[in-house]
Amino acid sequence: MTAASRSITRAVLSREQAEGVGARVRRSIGRPELRNHDPFLMLDEFNVDKNGGFPDHPHRGFETVTYMLEGQFQHEDFAGHKGTIGPGDLQWMTAGRGIVHSEMPVKSQTRAHGLQLWINLPKEHKMCEPQYQELLDKEVKRARPEEGVEIKVIAGQSHGVSSQVYTRTPTMYLDIKMDKNKTVVQTIPASFTGFIYTLKGTIFVGDNAFKGEAHHTLTFSEDGAETVKITTKEESAHFVLIAGEPLREPIVQHGPFVMNSKEEIYDTFMDYQTNTNGFERAKNWSSTIA
């Protein structure tokens, strides 16, 4: 007897909107209908032309995960960290107590296309030191449970394959490609909340085969089931499955700052404006790539 699969509680279409400079994004988590999906704050599918990007901006209190699908992105921060990620590469940035950075497309590219996920940090880690973890596509481990199914294990585990990424908030992040007429059953910890964001094709999720089409966010039931069943029929599909341990802490967000109280947000603005308490290196700094 097979275990019951998680079901889908809602499906929300992500429509394109303008963001940053010369960027178009499809916002998944973070839309009004999906304001927060604890522990996740935002997921954007971004398309940026070579003259656009996300020039110098600060963060505090959470992590950003940038995962490239096409093109190349450069990044640079006030601590001297600088690099370029291309198709299949990822950058897992812990902003912690403070970072100011720039994310810009490589000018020789026609466009940069990818996903950026924001993961909340628990109260005890919000003021940790900033950290980067970067993995090239060739360094990301794959699970292949059967022919025609490939799972890139960006974070967490899948079919005996474990990611090397360290997650302060327990997180599963899988990039899954399936040929047509395939089925995969993915294990998920019973306590995790989660969702699927569909990039291409149509999938059918759960024992009732809920239909999920491209650019939709499909949120999982929170019923303690430890698997989710995903099937393709007449076409192949590409999607990400993201799940994590909910923090169940107050969330107060103001733009790029996410803390637990209004007072902490006020303190963050003061720290940023006065270049103190984590933002010392922001004084007189500007990136060379913006």
136: three-class secondary structure by DSSP: coil
On whether 57 is known to bind a ligand per the annotation, the reply is yes
Whether residue 87 has a cis bond before it, omega within 30° of 0: no
| Residue 245 to residue 21: CA distance in whole angstroms | 33
Radius of gyration of the chain (CA): 19
Residue 171 forms beta bridges with which residues? 244
Q: Per-residue pLDDT tens for 99-121?
A: 999 999 988 777 899 999 999 99
> Which phi and psi angles does 33 have, rounded to 5°?
-75, -20
On whether 125 is known to bind a ligand per the annotation, the reply is no
Question: Structure pTM?
Answer: 0.96
Rounded to the nearest integer, the mean pLDDT of the chain is 95
On whether 103 is known to bind a ligand per the annotation, the reply is yes
CB distance 287 to 56 below 8 Å? yes
Q: Per-residue pLDDT tens for 147-157?
A: 999 999 999 99
Per-residue b or e along 97-136, where b marks 16 or more CB atoms closer than 10 Å to that residue's CB = bbbbbbbbbeeebeebbbbbbbbbbeeebbbeebeebbbe
Q: Per-residue pLDDT tens for 239-252?
A: 999 999 999 999 99
| Residue 232 to residue 200: CA distance in whole angstroms | 12
Count Cα atoms within 13 angstroms, Cβ side, for 25: 22
On whether 59 is known to bind a ligand per the annotation, the reply is yes
Taking residues 275-285, report their average pLDDT: 96
In 245-286, at which residue ranges do the beta strands (DSSP E only) sit?
252-254, 257-259
CB distance 194 to 188 below 8 Å? yes
Sorting pLDDT into bands at 50, 70 and 90, what band is 232? very high
